[in-house]
Structure 1
Amino acid sequence: MDQGRDGAVYARFRRALENQRLTAGALVTQGELCKALNVPVARLRRALVLLAAYGLVKIEPRIGVRIAYPDVAFIRETYQFLTMIEVAAIRVVLPQMDREWIGQMRGEHNALLANLSANPGNDIWTGDIMRLDNELHGTIVAALGNRAISRTHRLLRDNLGFAQQVHHSSFGTAQYLSSLNEHLGLLDAMESGDLAATIAALEAHFKTSTHRIFGGQH
């Protein structure tokens, strides 16, 4: 499979979901997908193998292509996979984590917590929250120095972004404050060098995040 060309179709597919030119859970024909993504059918068919492997579509023979809907199972399985990757990474990289970076991340989290608390209900901080979330989790995995694992990790996080978009109405100040505080707990555990505490904080964060997408506060 030509990962470069098929990767470009994957990127178009993601944008089509973000722009709502494709709807989660919808059944579409290959022709409709070709039109939405502006790609020829031969290229689409190759890319569908990749999209199916990423859990984004299900090919239904003689019927069409089912766009994934990020239901409870989709989200739970994504977080389970992310947990496996990040716990494995923590076991390897914790002894060598940059304490200066941990301090910087803590400072940025505390500043964002203060801004968000002072301006509740204001979505101007969403971009900063997403950036911190990506940096924290991405840096942990990137420290492994394994491009294949980092690529898979990014794809899984893309799936979470898809789920958050579909269930966007459940997100608000309370959920973001909860997530940022969980990050601070994780950073504290990492700074202490306590492996068991760090893994426990990470697993608790992901477990809570699974509920948070649907508006849960626990």
Structure 2
Amino acid sequence: MNIATHPAPTSLRAQAYENFQQQIVAATIRPGQFISQRELMQLLGMPLGAVRELIPRLEAEGLLKTVPQRGLQIAHVDLALVNNAFQLRQVLEREAAVRFAASVSDRDLAAIEQAHLDIVRRARSSPLSDQLLDDAHRVDWGLHDLMIDTLGNGLISEAHRINSLRVRLIRLETSSHSALMLIPAMEEHLWFIDALKRRDPQAVVERLSHHIESSHRRALGLALPDLPRNGRSTG
């Protein structure tokens, strides 16, 4: 007798966490915002029990805290959060990028490059729209996520995903990934992809570090760093 097997259903708590992530990505939840448990329940479309189970995880990850007499507060963006989040990006992504450069196929790199070129083309040929910005964010983070996952280390991937939510909150607070920055950010990625295509580990690390430091400085409202000596913009 054949017995059909089915994957175990995703727990309500896991679904609530995924919904919370999507609210950050969609900018529905804002840094520093106060929200009640019931409001969070309605926003996530989840039962109160799942939301109550979710809160300790969000608090442990620094994405939310309970404030007596006021309720729940989404992570407040301050100097320490900005510096710590971008320093963690440097630590996590440098090794991942070198590993990625050695393992990614030419075909996949060509597809990644083309996705970036398409965003730049659209940004230059038509007015910027919410859809274009959303697509650009997916292309941007898609490359970083893919590099991290190449390490094959679930703990590192999880740390990266949590930190990426912090970075998204930072960008919401500082407008460091606004429409005006879309083309420069994509061109930085293309400059980095050029090093990946050449399988040059030194250039890969230098260009990735420069890209992350540029994002860090944008978040702080500082002047961008000079290009490395062997730097060459593709834009």
Q: Settle same-fold status: TM greater than 0.5.
A: yes
Shift in Å at residue 30 of structure 1? 4.9
**Alignment-derived partner of residue 195 in structure 2:** 189
**Is 1:67 equivalent to 2:74 in the alignment?**
yes
**Alignment-derived partner of residue 57 in structure 1:** 64
Pair 1:132–1:44, CA change in 2 (3 A): closer
**Is 1:76 equivalent to 2:87 in the alignment?**
no
**Is 1:110 equivalent to 2:124 in the alignment?**
no
Number of equivalences: 213
**RMSD of Structure 2 on Structure 1 (CA):** 3.0
Shift in Å at residue 29 of structure 1? 5.3
After superposition, residues 19-34 of structure 1 pair within 5 angstroms as 20=28, 23-28=30-35, 30=37, 33=40
More helix per residue: 1 or 2?
A: 1
Pair 1:103–1:11, CA change in 2 (3 A): closer
**Is 1:39 equivalent to 2:47 in the alignment?**
yes
Alignment-mate amino acid for residue 39 of structure 1:
P
Shift in Å at residue 214 of structure 1? 5.7
Q: TM-score, normalized by length of structure 2?
A: 0.74
Partners of 1:171 and 1:19 in 2: how far apart? 13
Give percent identity, aligned residues only. 23
**Alignment-derived partner of residue 152 in structure 2:** 145
**Alignment-derived partner of residue 134 in structure 1:** 141
Unaligned runs of 5+ in 2: 1-9, 225-235
Shift in Å at residue 61 of structure 1? 5.8
**Alignment-derived partner of residue 125 in structure 1:** 132
| 8 Å Cα contact 2:148/2:157 also seen in 1 | yes
After superposing on structure 2, the runs of 4+ consecutive aligned residues of structure 1 that deviate more than 6 Å are none
Shift in Å at residue 31 of structure 1? 5.8
Q: TM-score, normalized by length of structure 1?
A: 0.79
**Is 1:172 equivalent to 2:188 in the alignment?**
no
Partners of 1:92 and 1:36 in 2: how far apart? 39
Partners of 2:127 and 2:97 in 1: how far apart? 33
